[in-house]
Amino acid sequence: MSGGPSSSQTPWWRNAVIYQVYPRSWADADGDGIGDLPGITARLDHLAALGVDAVWLSPFYTSPQHDAGYDVADFRDVDPIFGTLEDADALVARAHDLGLRIVVDIVPNHTSNAHVWFQAALASPPGSPERARYLFREGRGEHGDQPPNNWQSMFGGPAWTRIAESDGTPGQWYLHLFDTSQPDLDWTNPEVHDELDDVLRFWLDRGVDGFRIDVAHGLVKAEGLPDGPAEFDSANEPTALQPMFDQPGVHDVYRRWRRLVEEYGVPGEDRDRILCAEAWVLPLESLAKYVRPDELHQSFNFAFLMTPWLPDDLRASIDEGLAAVAEVGAPQTWVLSNHDVVRHATRLGYPQQPGHLRIEGIGADDPQPDTALGLRRARAATALMLALPGSAYLYQGEELGLPEATQLPDEARQDPTWERSGHTSRGRDGCRVPIPWEADLPSYGFGPSGASWLPQPEAYRELAADRQDGVDGSTLELYRALLRLRRERGLGRGTLTWTDGYGPDVLALEIASDVGPTLVLTNLGPEPVPVPDHLEVAVVSGPLTADGAVPTDTTAWLLSGT
Ligand code: NOJ
């Protein structure tokens, strides 16, 4: 594997750039309109040329696809829509040949209701060992017809569903923090621990380099499953005030998992297998507990993702992010987009105000973003993020500058959020639209038949990869330049110092690494910022002004002239 100049001392994951592939939407080899593993394998060259270190694949396991694969029916097999286990092996092998590591998704909070365990639970009586793998409870009220507590599903509606017992009478309720089709596992049951250990080993033995852990903060629930607070402000209040999230016992799970993955490291070789938490946890000090030395390697910093494009907010977010992980000796894990949030090229195309950004889906009758402004800021935001110490995740299509599909017809929507919220939340389909590869082909080259499981906006044609390849100033070439220079300058393993003298609207940060200093200027104000005489622009997120200054909503990386 290739690494920066000091890669022998710095484990790869501490400054890696990891690219998220959402398998349904990246590349379709068999023409059914849904992306698949052979499609991914055939296009891995794109990622090698982009210059990322690793690829995270969202779930491709056997699944009825009620939540786009996050409802797993068999953790040890590939769903036919995505291919076969042999296709997964071929993908891992090809990635490794290209110097790319592979991180796969693990979904330990719940299974699909089609999983054999859940089917066995339904067929078994209350109190049976089969039921004890999940969270079955009696209902409240005289006839047990009220849910056992007041928890709500993350997709809307109650987090409990009542089953019919085998004699047809109304029976127990089971917990599902997400869709009805996603029953939560009971992590007080040792059998659940053993099973997930075994699943981790299954994929590690097939050669994967790590796991992104779905709902990592949700596995362990407060004892007795008490009611949660009636009102809760998830953007500001400590997550652990809710009985279903960030409970202390969850850390024991990750200590055990860390020991397990460490068995697969090779002493003297930079081959750590990693664990990355998807944990929507505040405050950042609580999130940092997930990356203590004996727990996980990484945990997405979603507070950064939700930070508005305002200088004081960004500076505070970066400072708080770095300080929180410094306490535990971990790197920070930066991210701006993923398959659950509105793409940052669109988020930043709205007026920005202090507080957290809205990250929920957008429909045709909602206010629409200023797409040119959004793209300009998104490029500047990525250039800022990729300069920061630590590791970073990119989401497929952001290297093409793709905006959210904000005008999808509602009848095309597939995210369960749309139905479960009673059509009040548009959900996440808008960031999951298939990738445009070749502008002049049907489905813009997504697949050979022209089919696409979600309709692609016309605006995606001009953003297709082939229209940007080799084109000076394109978003694709910008990402390639940023990733190349980030590696050359050792930015991910650098240290950050804020530099004064550029005014309150400019983020000016010097990143010092063993290769030397790099000055990063992000201009959020109206006035262009002149480049200091002794420095040269190495890469810039948009055009400079005629006299060579850094204009508004632009990030430049500056080096000492030679
Ligand atoms: C987080 C995943 O990223 C999301 O897509 C999924 O719906 C939920 N977890 C439930 O698995």
The answer to whether 255 touches 295, Cβ cutoff 8 Å, is yes
- For the chain, give the number of residues: 562
Q: Tell me the CA–centroid distance for residue 16 and ligand 1, in Å.
A: 23
Minimal-distance CA residue to ligand 1 atom 6:
70
Tokens for 357? 């950004």
d(CA 251, CA 220): 9
CA 214 to centroid of ligand 1, rounded, Å: 6
Q: Is 87 helix (H, G, I), strand (E, B) or coil?
A: helix
Q: Mutation test of ligand 1: which of 340, 360, 431 has the most ligand atoms closer than 8 Å to its C-beta?
A: 340
Distance 290 CA to ligand 1 centre (A): 19
Quote the tokens at residue 259.
Answer: 């020991």
Select from 18, 29, 35 the least CA-distant residue to 432.
Answer: 35
CA 70 to centroid of ligand 1, rounded, Å? 6
- Distance, in Å, from the CA atom of 161 to the CA atom of 138, rounded to the nearest integer, reads 11
Calpha distance 444→375 (Å, rounded): 20
Contact 219/250 with Cβ under 8 angstroms? yes
| Cβ < 6 A, ligand 1 pocket | 67, 70, 107, 178, 214-215, 278, 339-340
The whole-model pTM stands at 0.97
User: Which residue's alpha carbon is nearest to atom 2 within ligand 1?
Assistant: 214
> What is the rounded CA–CA span in Å between residue 92 and residue 99?
10
> What are the structure tokens assigned to 536, written together?
């040269």
CA of 532 to the centre of ligand 1 (A): 46
Mutate to test the pocket of ligand 1, among 214, 217, 278, 414 (most ligand atoms within 8 A of CB): 214
**26 Cα: distance to centroid of ligand 1 (angstroms):** 18
Ligand 1 pocket mutation pick from 70, 175, 177, 185 by most atoms within 8 angstroms of CB = 70
Please give the distance, rounded to the nearest whole angstrom, from the Cα atom of residue 273 to the centre of ligand 1.
Answer: 22
The residues assigned a catalytic role are: 214, 263
Is the bond preceding 283 in cis, omega lying within 30 degrees of 0?
yes
CA 299 to the chain's CA centroid:
10
pLDDT in tens, the chain (562 residues): 333 334 457 999 999 999 999 999 999 999 999 999 999 999 999 999 999 999 999 999 999 999 999 999 999 999 999 999 999 999 999 999 999 999 999 999 999 999 999 999 999 999 999 999 999 999 999 999 999 999 999 999 999 999 999 999 999 999 999 999 999 999 999 999 999 999 999 999 999 999 999 999 999 999 999 999 999 998 889 999 999 999 999 999 999 999 999 999 887 889 999 999 999 999 999 999 999 999 999 999 999 999 999 999 999 999 999 999 999 999 999 999 999 999 999 999 999 998 877 778 999 999 999 999 999 999 999 999 999 999 999 999 999 999 999 999 999 999 999 998 999 999 999 999 999 999 999 999 999 999 999 999 999 999 999 999 999 999 999 999 999 999 999 999 999 999 999 999 999 999 999 999 999 999 999 999 999 999 999 999 999 999 999 999 999 999 997 5
Q: Which of 22, 61, 67, 335 to mutate to test the pocket of ligand 1 (most atoms within 8 A of CB)?
A: 67
Number of neighbours of residue 310 by Cβ within 10 angstroms: 16
Question: Which residue type does 93 have?
Answer: A
| The residue to which tokens 């998992």 are assigned | 257
